[in-house]
């Protein structure tokens, strides 16, 4: 329980802190710095506790054989109901921990805690290397080509793996092709489910995270197809929400869990926003990756003053005849990796200066 409480606190801090840490290239305001400084004791305490947990698995027994993939990970846990029969080394925990180590190093640097910044950065880098090595070792041990849910099991859990993309932004440390294979299998299995080609009893709409993951992987058509599937399972339809568990037969008496379910709702919101704009692991903001032609049939699509880690974002896409116009006004967010316009089916365009007006072929 202590671990759970500490990680909950860390997760609450991560999103706010991530908006203005120095590593993102934006200078924090005095108000931001005061906010961070007030939470610094907890950030430092949580980070040291995470480091102690990480070190508890860097022991000789985890150097060889089937336990080699445990080296340097977060300890065994029951990170979700699927592991309730026995604790395992869940990569869900590790991706969250990676996000925490990264943000902790950035926060320390922003606040001028130089010694802690060096320590946290060293722990972050060592943990990153251990995590990447573990994922490869697990794949070799279980002879799989996808990212496993847990080191011991080699299980397929794409819903859990989505957080490797966001918020962990760990795409770069995953073996080449493995992330793509994970979501190719997810799409294949989901398509047969949606099309009625295979039997299924229920699922949890936590899967809404896959919409954002597919958009980030450059698969907007699949992202929208999954979104359509999930929307069809909002029950009662008039409530505009999802239960924790959705059954295939609406009138069957069964466990539903929480209804409405706030975590599912937040997964939907994050994925919906990813269709409009998302932060890439190179520090770029990608605009319009999920803005399909259907969205432009009756007007324009875009965002106004959308909060991002780099400031507020505003842009619009509209169709006029055979052309698309992308308007990005001045005073927008300025991410270190730049602004990238990536409308589906078209080449990416890097925005060099603001304001910007980009004209694309609509066909």
> Which sequence spans correspond to the domains of the chain?
2-180, 201-277, 280-361
pLDDT at 28: 60
Q: Tell me the torsion sign for CA atoms 236, 240, 241, 242.
A: positive
Q: Tell me if residue 319 falls in helix, strand or coil.
A: strand
Between the alpha carbon of residue 312 and those of residues 112, 157, 305, 328, 341, the distances in Å are 26, 34, 5, 12, 16
pLDDT at 3: 34
pLDDT at 31: 86
Residue 180 near residue 254 (C-beta atoms within 8 A): no
Residue 317: in which H helix or E strand, if any?
strand 311-320
pLDDT at 17: 43
Residue 50: in which H helix or E strand, if any?
helix 30-55
- Identify each DSSP E strand in the chain by its residue range: 202-203, 246-247, 277-279, 285-287, 300-308, 311-320, 323-328, 339-341, 349-351, 356-361
Residue 127: in which H helix or E strand, if any?
helix 114-142
Residue 21 near residue 35 (C-beta atoms within 8 A): no
Q: Tell me if residue 162 falls in helix, strand or coil.
A: helix
Query: pTM above the 0.85 mark?
Result: yes
The Cα 268–Cα 49 span in angstroms is 32
**CB-based burial label for 296 (10 Å; 0-12, 13-18, 19+):** middle
Helices 262-276 and 220-231 sit at what angle, rounded to 10 degrees?
A: 150
Residue 347 near residue 218 (C-beta atoms within 8 A): no
Contacts of 31 (CB under 8 A, 6+ apart): none
The Cα 97–Cα 95 span in angstroms is 5
pLDDT at 23: 36
Question: Phi and psi for 340 in degrees, rounded to 5?
Answer: -120, 120
Strand partners, 319: 324
Q: pLDDT 10s digit of each residue in the chain, 363 long?
A: 333 333 333 344 444 444 434 333 445 678 888 999 999 999 999 999 999 999 999 999 999 898 999 999 999 999 887 898 999 999 999 999 999 999 999 999 999 999 999 999 999 999 999 999 999 999 999 999 999 999 999 999 999 999 999 999 999 999 889 999 999 999 999 999 999 888 899 999 999 999 999 999 999 999 999 999 999 999 888 999 999 999 888 888 888 888 889 999 999 999 999 999 999 989 999 999 999 988 998 788 999 999 998 999 999 999 988 899 999 999 998 899 999 999 999 999 999 999 999 999 876
Q: Tell me if residue 112 falls in helix, strand or coil.
A: coil
The token pair at 152 is 């011991």
**CB-based burial label for 345 (10 Å; 0-12, 13-18, 19+):** exposed
pLDDT at 21: 40
Q: Which of 350, 121, 95, 342 is nearest to 217 (CA)?
A: 342
């Amino acid at each position: 329980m202590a671990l759970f409480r500490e990680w909950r606190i860390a997760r609450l801090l991560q999103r706010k802190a991530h908006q203005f840490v120095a590593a993102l290239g934006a200078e924090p305001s005095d108000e931001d710095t005061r906010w961070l400084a007030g939470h610094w004791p907890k950030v430092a305490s949580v980070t040291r506790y995470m480091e102690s947990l990480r070190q508890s698995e860097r022991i000789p027994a985890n150097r060889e054989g089937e336990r080699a993939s445990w080296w340097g990970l977060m300890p065994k846990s029951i990170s979700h109901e699927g592991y309730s029969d026995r604790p395992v080394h869940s990569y869900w925990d590790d991706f969250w921990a990676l996000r925490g180590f990264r943000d902790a190093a950035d926060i320390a640097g922003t606040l001028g805690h130089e010694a802690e910044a060096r320590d946290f950065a060293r722990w972050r880098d060592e943990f990153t290397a251990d995590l990447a090595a573990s994922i490869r070792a697990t794949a070799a041990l279980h002879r799989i080509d996808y990212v496993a849910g847990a080191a011991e099991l080699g299980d397929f859990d794409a819903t859990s793996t989505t957080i490797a993309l966001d918020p962990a932004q760990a795409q770069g440390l995953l073996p080449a092709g493995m992330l793509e294979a994970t979501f190719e299998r997810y799409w294949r299995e989901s398509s047969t489910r949606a099309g009625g080609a295979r039997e299924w009893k229920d699922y949890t709409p936590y899967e809404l995270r896959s919409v954002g993951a597919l958009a980030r992987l450059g698969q907007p058509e699949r992202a929208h197809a999954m979104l359509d599937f999930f929307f069809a399972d909002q029950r009662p339809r008039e409530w505009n929400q999802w239960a924790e568990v959705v059954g295939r037969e609406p009138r069957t008496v069964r466990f539903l869990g929480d209804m409405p379910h706030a975590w599912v709702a937040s997964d939907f919101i994050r994925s919906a926003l990813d269709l409009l704009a998302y932060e890439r692991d190179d520090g770029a903001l990608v605009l319009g990756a999920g803005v399909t032609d259907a969205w432009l049939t009756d007007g324009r699509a875009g965002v106004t003053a959308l909060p991002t880690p780099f400031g507020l974002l505003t842009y619009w896409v509209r169709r006029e005849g055979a052309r698309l116009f992308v308007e990005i006004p001045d005073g927008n967010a300025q991410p270190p990796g730049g602004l990238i316009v990536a409308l589906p089916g078209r080449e990416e365009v890097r925005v060099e200066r603001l304001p910007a007006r980009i004209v694309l072929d609509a066909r």
